[in-house]
Homo-oligomer: A and B are copies of this chain.
Amino acid sequence: MGTIGMSVIGIGGMGSHHASYIHAGEIPGLSLAAVCDTNPERVKWARESFGDSVRSFEDADALYEAGVSDAVLIATPHYDHPALATKAFERGLHVLIEKPAGVYTKSVREMNEAAASSGKVFGIMFQMRTVGAYRKLKDLVDSGDLGEVQRTSWIASDWFRSQFYYDSGSWRATWGGEGGGVLLNQCPHNLDVWQWICGLPKRVRAFCRFGRYHDIEVEDDVTAYVEYENGASGVFIASTGEAPGTDRFEIAGEGGRAILESGRIEFRRNRVPAGKFSRESRKPFAKPEAWNCEVPAPGGGGRHQDIAKDFAAAITDGRTLVAPGEEGIRSLELANAMLMSAWTDSWVDIPFDDDLFHEKIKEKIATSKYKKPAAGDTMDVDGTF
């Protein structure tokens, strides 16, 4: 078969990066068919960069109407992901979306239904699922080596952003433009990997601080406590105001403890599971003998190209995706639940009422008094994701 023609909708910071590596032939089986952006400057940039062989549009409907590709990669601001994806599925296109899946679960659920009806390949750009260390952590949990999970904690405060960053785009860090802050923009990866490895909790109690470190209206600092179905507890901490910041993911289980920090997994394995030891020991202060295990974790992974390749291969040979699009709703449920818990100063169960959250975010947009100092240009996203 020939190559799969891919259109990239939204060629701002992220989308232009995707378009570039596809156009450069880095993804076997995938070719750049078209790009689309509502900003004429970006379209001009695309024409200059990719030449006439790549079609360009200023309107997604026109792109869809032209029928120029087999698949789309949607890299617009978050709000537009579900509607654009739904339209693509209706056109019989395969869809790869940038994270987060959307801003509120109601629209994402509708997108997931459209995807299921279409039978097309649906992926989401959760490239961190290809990182060797995360895959190995998941392996330790799934295999049972860590035993029943008792506590999870992720301090993900290594997302420092300057005020300049927030001032650089009119949609950034506003309820109307992004629908959230650190949870929606910086942390979808963390939230996805967290739930991918440890599962979704059953309830959330979160503490979000809005504009704590920056002149913005959305959250730039979050601490969330969660409880899982099996009785385990968890903590998630995120911030764009801390430097140097921390990125430390810890999972405590009956079988031991695993910590991922600075790219290194530390796994201490109990010779006897903690609960069994507690019940059987006749010593008050003893604890299970624990072995420091050097766990081999494959390096590499974590590149956008890894997910794009996986997506292309799934279209070609029907394989299961590393990051199925339908799972994008899970990290969004976490993010939405955290915001709703902070707004209501109370517990939020998962799943929660989609409509209620949708009402609340509309209210935030309607009552927003925040005015952006200035709209900026497309940012170079080198060094971020």
A residues neighboring B (CB under 8 Å): 150-151, 153, 155, 157, 160-165, 168, 205, 207, 209, 212-214, 221, 223, 225, 227, 231, 233, 235, 237, 239, 241-246, 250, 252, 256-257, 259, 268, 270, 274-275, 277-279, 281-288, 290, 379, 381, 383-384
Provide the residues of chain B in CB contact with A205, threshold 8 Å: 205, 207
Distance between Cα atoms of A286 and B381 in the complex (Å): 11
Q: Can you list 12 pairs linking A and B with CB atoms under 8 Å apart?
A: A150-B239, A153-B237, A161-B285, A164-B281, A207-B225, A209-B231, A213-B278, A235-B235, A241-B274, A242-B274, A244-B257, A285-B381
Once A223-B233, A235-B237, A243-B270 are accepted as A-B contacts, the answer to whether A283 and B150 lie under 8 Å apart by CB is no
Least CB distance, A205 to chain B, in whole angstroms:
7
Provide the residues of chain B in CB contact with A245, threshold 8 Å: 252, 257, 287
CB pair B278–A162 under 8 Å, yes or no, is yes
Provide the residues of chain B in CB contact with A290, threshold 8 Å: 243-244
CB pair B225–A244 under 8 Å, yes or no, is no
Which residue in chain B gives the minimum CB-CB distance to A256? B244
Q: Which of B214, B235, B242 contacts A257 (CB 8 A)?
A: B242
CB pair B285–A383 under 8 Å, yes or no, is yes
Provide the residues of chain B in CB contact with A287, threshold 8 Å: 160, 162, 243-245
Known: A213-B275, A285-B383; 10 extra A-B contacts, CB below 8 A, are A153-B237, A160-B274, A161-B285, A162-B283, A163-B278, A165-B285, A205-B205, A209-B233, A244-B288, A244-B290
Provide the residues of chain B in CB contact with A207, threshold 8 Å: 205, 225, 227, 233
Provide the residues of chain B in CB contact with A277, threshold 8 Å: 162, 243
CB pair B244–A162 under 8 Å, yes or no, is no
Provide the residues of chain B in CB contact with A237, threshold 8 Å: 151, 153, 235
Provide the residues of chain B in CB contact with A221, threshold 8 Å: 233
CB pair A212–B235 under 8 Å, yes or no, is no
CB pair A281–B244 under 8 Å, yes or no, is no
Once A225-B223, A233-B223, A284-B162 are accepted as A-B contacts, the answer to whether A278 and B214 lie under 8 Å apart by CB is yes
Which residue in chain B gives the minimum CB-CB distance to A231? B212
CB pair A151–B233 under 8 Å, yes or no, is no
CB pair A241–B161 under 8 Å, yes or no, is no
Distance between Cα atoms of A212 and B381 in the complex (Å): 46
Distance between Cα atoms of A384 and B286 in the complex (Å): 10
